[in-house]
């Protein structure tokens, strides 16, 4: 009887504090049945494992938790490859449904739809549920985890270049792609691969892109991005150069300079116009 009385007082207290959600509270105890807690009831996680196209893939994962005394709060977590820390992420759309009860367990289902719009979405995913006991303690449960790979060419940028006719020049490019891309420079003398040289052209090897928050600060690797540089000896007038990138069967061509004079004039003009407006 005293247990029941305690439970009634607890419920009354809790309903007083959270009167707006009183229909979502059942009684439970840390020492006797029914016990307070959070349990995974079902999940649709491991079925989603696999490779998704950048910009096209849709990951569809879900989990259902039951809990006492209140409905659990469900949070979705992501862990990048070769990292040990999980961080919360925002689903492209999250559909959450709570079934309330005043006598049995609460149920929360959460469906997370994730559009694979960036390469850094690669990694493991899982959901976690946390339930407040109402006395500043809580219980937790989590789903299993699923590995997701996002593949494709995210960007090809000419970061810097100097190509004045009659002088030695260079082109610095950054390519963000997964898996690691194959790259060719097309030159007047033919194709040059990273680490190769022709008589007037030489390409560096690919190196992982890094950023520094300050000059003295530590370098951080930009995931999935690579830098490379083409060295040009004695740039000729009307030199024609481009960059071919291939990753996961996808091919992209980026024109650096073209022998057509109109394009050489047109590109800086557009850049100037963009800067003005």
Ligand X SMILES: *[C@@H]1O[C@H](CO)[C@@H](O)[C@H](O)[C@H]1NC(C)=O
Could you list the residues that contact ligand X (CB under 6 A)? 60, 113, 118, 120
* Cβ nearer to ligand X, comparing 89 with 170: 89
State in angstroms the smallest separation of the CB of 64 from ligand X: 12
Question: How far is residue 144's CA from residue 128's CA, in Å, rounded to a whole number?
Answer: 9
Going through 100-218 in order, the beta strands assigned E by DSSP cover: 106-115, 123-132, 138-142, 146-162, 169-178, 182-187, 190-192, 201-203, 207-212
Question: How far is residue 5's CA from residue 3's CA, in Å, rounded to a whole number?
Answer: 5
* Cβ nearer to ligand X, comparing 155 with 204: 155
Question: How far is residue 168's CA from residue 232's CA, in Å, rounded to a whole number?
Answer: 6
Q: Are 135 and 31 in contact (CB under 8 A)?
A: no
* Cβ nearer to ligand X, comparing 88 with 268: 88
State in angstroms the smallest separation of the CB of 173 from ligand X: 17
State in angstroms the smallest separation of the CB of 118 from ligand X: 4
Burial-class residue 71 by CB neighbours within 10 Å (0-12, 13-18, 19+): buried
What DSSP string runs through 7-63?
HHHHHHHHHHHTGGGGGG----BSSSSSBPEEEEEEEE-GGG-EEEETTT-EEEEEE
State in angstroms the smallest separation of the CB of 114 from ligand X: 10
For residue 52 the two structure tokens come to 């998704």
* Cβ nearer to ligand X, comparing 30 with 60: 60
* Cβ nearer to ligand X, comparing 44 with 236: 44
Burial-class residue 173 by CB neighbours within 10 Å (0-12, 13-18, 19+): buried
* Cβ nearer to ligand X, comparing 168 with 180: 180
State in angstroms the smallest separation of the CB of 120 from ligand X: 4
State in angstroms the smallest separation of the CB of 176 from ligand X: 8
Question: End-to-end alpha-carbon separation of the chain, Å?
Answer: 77
Q: Give the bridge partners for 147, in sequence order.
A: 124
* Cβ nearer to ligand X, comparing 40 with 118: 118
Q: Are 237 and 165 in contact (CB under 8 A)?
A: yes
Question: How far is residue 111's CA from residue 98's CA, in Å, rounded to a whole number?
Answer: 12
State in angstroms the smallest separation of the CB of 60 from ligand X: 4
């Amino acid at each position: 009887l005293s247990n029941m009385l305690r439970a009634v007082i607890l419920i009354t207290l809790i309903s007083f504090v959270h009167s707006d959600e009183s229909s979502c509270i059942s009684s439970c105890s840390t020492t006797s049945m029914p016990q307070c807690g959070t349990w995974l009831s079902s999940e649709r996680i491991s079925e989603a494992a696999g490779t998704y196209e950048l910009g096209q893939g849709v990951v569809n994962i879900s989990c259902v938790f039951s809990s006492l005394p209140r409905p659990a709060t469900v949070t979705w977590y992501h862990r990048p490859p070769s990292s040990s820390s999980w961080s919360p992420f925002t689903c492209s759309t999250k559909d959450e449904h709570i079934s309330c009860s005043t006598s049995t367990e609460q149920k929360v289902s959460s469906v997370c739809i994730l559009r694979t719009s960036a390469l850094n979405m690669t990694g493991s995913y899982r959901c976690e549920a946390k339930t407040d006991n109402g006395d500043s303690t809580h219980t937790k449960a989590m789903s299993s985890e699923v590995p997701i790979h996002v593949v494709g060419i995210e960007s090809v940028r000419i970061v810097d270049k100097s190509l004045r006719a009659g002088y030695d020049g260079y082109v610095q490019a950054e390519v963000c792609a997964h898996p690691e891309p194959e790259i060719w420079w097309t030159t007047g003398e033919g194709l040059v691969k990273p680490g190769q040289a022709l008589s007037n052209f030489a390409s560096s090897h690919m190196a992982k892109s890094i950023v520094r928050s300050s000059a003295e600060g530590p370098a951080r690797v930009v995931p999935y991005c690579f830098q490379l540089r083409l060295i040009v000896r004695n740039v000729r007038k009307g030199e024609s150069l481009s960059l071919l990138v291939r990753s996961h069967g996808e091919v992209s061509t980026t024109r650096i300079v073209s022998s057509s004079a109109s394009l050489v004039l047109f590109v800086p003009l557009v850049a100037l116009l963009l800067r003005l407006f």
